[in-house]
Copies of this chain bind each other. A is one copy, B any other.
């Protein structure tokens, strides 16, 4: 039996029970909206084993890299949206996947890219990206660009999609619900405008974990996308998306040194293992580089945080009991941002509430 004691630290630990609970919660949230499908975003988990639970029966998924598209297609997930603005040079790789049986749909917001998709000799389909207020990619719902993109795509238009990423700046359930409704209104307005112009718009897709969980209605929407809900993290917790005990992903770390003169201990989880993400910096509570938990993943040191990181060093301070830890003792660190923290590791060590490692699941990193 492999236990946490056998793992090289830092190691990425995923709690199966919490993961399943988070998946059930999202499934229930989506089930409030009959006819709306969940297309889980695998950019956080990047794992076939997680996909088997999050998108059962090889259901539709969302991916963020061509490497993910290939990995999940090889694993039997044919219906994908590659939800990062595509470039002409990437079309060959996607068309090759589609020619081999997958249906990987790309997204775009530039007429030049739309023309490249339309002119490509291989099988391709694209969604027009709509900007409902995040201010990242996408055309505004009332912009003339929408019709131009649809016209350029011609028969390769598969639908419209948006991502209300600005929901991460929301600070209350009411605010999330308001952003969710703006997300819905914007993407359905785009769909209706294109339909009015004579285009067939099959897919109307929106999502972010906060908006999908808080949406009061989804009329006109065919599917929702979300990813970080699977694992949770300190930012999502601060947004009120989930409770502290819903964080499924932690970094197992060893104490490497004691610094009582500055009320600190050093951990072997630093900037690479935790990432330099500081998502909670602007949140109600700033968790610095992570919240230090007991080796069972439960709070044990109050509000002890990783306050400083170097490449392989994390310095933990605050809370209670931290200074009683001895070198080699284990802690777990809850991350600011699960997507970035997980990306430092090539595998998950899966536990189910206890110390036993019940499975090792791989991840597809890189591009």
A-side residues, CB < 8 A to B, are: 5, 8-11, 43, 64-66, 84-90, 93, 109-110, 112-113, 116, 135-137, 165, 254-258, 262, 266, 268, 271-273, 275-278, 310-313, 315, 326-328, 339-340, 343-346, 365-367
Contacts and interface: CB of A to CB of B under 8 A. Distances in A.
Nearest to A343: B272
Contacts of A365: 344, 346
A326 B111 CA distance: 11
A316 to B, nearest CB: 13
B87 A311 contact: no
Given A86-B256, A136-B315, A276-B277, 18 more contacts: A8-B66, A8-B367, A10-B367, A11-B367, A64-B311, A85-B257, A85-B313, A88-B327, A110-B327, A135-B262, A137-B266, A137-B313, A165-B310, A272-B343, A275-B275, A311-B339, A345-B366, A346-B366
B266 A271 contact: no
A85 B311 contact: no
A355 to B, nearest CB: 14
Q: How many copies does the complex hold?
A: 2
Main secondary structure of the interface of A (DSSP, over half): loop
21 contacts: A11-B367, A64-B311, A84-B268, A84-B313, A85-B256, A87-B255, A87-B327, A88-B327, A88-B328, A109-B257, A110-B258, A136-B266, A136-B310, A136-B315, A137-B257, A137-B313, A271-B340, A273-B367, A276-B277, A276-B340, A346-B365
A87 B43 contact: no
Contact of A87 (B93, B315, B328): B328
Contacts of A64: 311-312
B312 A43 contact: yes
B257 A340 contact: no
B256 A87 contact: yes
Nearest to A5: B89
A89 B216 CA distance: 51
A258 B113 CA distance: 11
A112 B340 contact: no
Contacts of A109: 257
Contacts of A266: 85, 136-137
Contacts of A136: 266, 310, 313, 315
